[in-house]
Amino acid sequence: MTNETEDNKIAAVIGAGPAGLYAARQLAINGVQVALLNRDIKPGGVAEYGIYPNKHKMKEGLRNQFRQILEMPQINYYGNVSVGQNGDITLDDLRSMGFKVILASVGAQGTKWLDLPGEDLEGVYHAKDIVYYYNKLPPFSQKEVAVCCRVAVIGVGNVMMDIAHWLIRDMKVSEVIAIARRGPAEVKFAKKEMEYVIGNLDLEAFEQEMNRCEPVMKSIGQDVQVAKDYILSALPKALEPVSSTKLSFEFLSSPTRILGDDTEKVIGLEVEDNTLILEDGETKIRNLGTKRILYVDAVIFCIGDKVDVHFGLPVQKNEYAKNPAPRFPVDGLSYEVYDPELGKPIEGIFVAGWSRKASTGLVGVARKDGENGAAAMLQYLDTLELGTQSLGTQSLGTQSLGTQPVREDSSQVFTRLEEALRRTGTEAVSKEEVFRLEKVERLEAERLGLEYYRMDTNEEMLAAIGR
């Protein structure tokens, strides 16, 4: 599959979202043979399954870039392969196979919750459940999602706007209520995203909410009119409404519990009123103790993500732990995984993208971070001695790693990987099969007269490539 490289540089990149793909590209350009392992059959990650589905031009432009990366001969793609403590293979497995350096670019696959009473009720979702559902990512595409009437969305960032977009323009629910702990001056969504839903904004209710927040905002020097103008600045380019859904905001409100009926279904959301104070020059929230109930039949949390604690790396503050004194910094940042218990970095393991900094930026930010992660890996590879390089006896699990030979035909490493996948019964998908799948879906889109067609189960996709 691969030829021996001049310096016998071999790397595994786990995760084929933007960070992983551009990291793999950067490594390949610099003569590294790369195994690109991806949980999903298709590459793209958040670019494929996180961007709103009707943004066809943007998504197809990214797919074209990703195809060019996969076509590089130094990159070997293994789709439909999960890596982690409960996966098809583990990080220790990869190291024992002979991969000299590993990059974790698996995104932030965990979910943040507020640990409120009632979060286990039917009708409570995390934004990731919804985004993956409407973008047809298996197995989320097969889950039941019940939203129909009044929906509370927690958070006021761009993810909340995508969820509101779907609820208003696709599901056409009766009401969407955006809940924010802070005030109107601290919304995080972009004006462009507001254009999709502002045509459904209940302007009278919005005016009343601004009036309610005004005394609190003025007390800490926030400009009420500036905040109001920003939110309403999307009106000139508002999309024509396609539903009678009412969109409203509840600022200065912290969710405290979710109420359910006798059948364990959501019937309401209790919130506590907040005020804002200045403390050491920072705006902070203070709960007032007064509570009220919003009668809704679904609650969707749009409050960010965290990394998967079962992947096999140490976690600190929702991210994989990074070396506080990096040996191979890039732009002053650390990309090296760190073991806080042992007080030292884990040899040869790096992170990039949302695995390094959860829920930060979209494709452009992830691309840059992936390239930076690759630059750190290249620095590390340059330090490996000819002959043998000890990876130490530190293990990510229970396996002692010992010493790995540096100079060996890289094809042997890939052969070990493929043999291990066959032993586990994993149906790894190659890049040639991904290209074949894309062709099948393009032809089906043409037949149906659609801009884009996507199969929404792994079984369909595997069947389409002849498995």
pLDDT at 467 (0 to 100): 86
pLDDT at 110 (0 to 100): 86
What residues pair up with 338 in beta bridges, in sequence order? 345
- Residue 400 to residue 415: CA distance in whole angstroms: 22
- Residue 104 to residue 213: CA distance in whole angstroms: 44
CB 183, CB 251: distance < 8 Å? yes
Given a cut of 80, is residue 95 above it in pLDDT?
A: yes
- Residue 286 to residue 300: CA distance in whole angstroms: 24
Given a cut of 70, is residue 7 above it in pLDDT?
A: no
Nearest-CA neighbor of 306 among 49, 111, 129? 111
CB 7, CB 29: distance < 8 Å? no
Given a cut of 90, is residue 439 above it in pLDDT?
A: yes
Contacts of 97 (CB under 8 A, 6+ apart): 413, 416, 417, 420
Per residue in 258-276, pLDDT (tens digit) is: 999 999 999 999 999 999 9
pLDDT at 4 (0 to 100): 43
pLDDT at 111 (0 to 100): 86
Share of the chain above pLDDT 90, in %: 84
Nearest-CA neighbor of 274 among 208, 177, 180, 186? 180
pLDDT at 395 (0 to 100): 54
Structure tokens, 194: 């507001």
pLDDT at 109 (0 to 100): 86
Domains of the chain: 10-109+306-429 (3.40.50.720), 113-303 (3.50.50.60)
Q: How far is CA 388 from the centre of its chain?
A: 37
- Tokens 């007390």 belong to 219
Band of pLDDT at residue 257, cut at 50, 70 and 90: very high
pLDDT at 435 (0 to 100): 97
Average pLDDT over residues 407-426: 88
Given a cut of 80, is residue 289 above it in pLDDT?
A: yes
pLDDT, the chain, mean: 92
Average pLDDT over residues 243-256: 98
Given a cut of 50, is residue 139 above it in pLDDT?
A: yes
The CA-atom distances, in angstroms, between 323 and each of 99, 103, 338 are 21, 14, 5
Q: Which residue has the higher pLDDT, 403 or 325?
A: 325
Average pLDDT over residues 151-164: 97
- Residue 457 to residue 141: CA distance in whole angstroms: 7
Contacts of 135 (CB under 8 A, 6+ apart): 48, 49, 50, 51, 53, 141
Average pLDDT over residues 349-374: 93
Average pLDDT over residues 48-61: 90
Given a cut of 80, is residue 361 above it in pLDDT?
A: no
Share of the chain above pLDDT 70, in %: 93
Given a cut of 90, is residue 402 above it in pLDDT?
A: no
Per residue in 445-454, pLDDT (tens digit) is: 999 999 999 9
Per residue in 176-217, pLDDT (tens digit) is: 999 999 999 999 999 999 999 999 999 999 999 999 999 999
pLDDT at 8 (0 to 100): 61
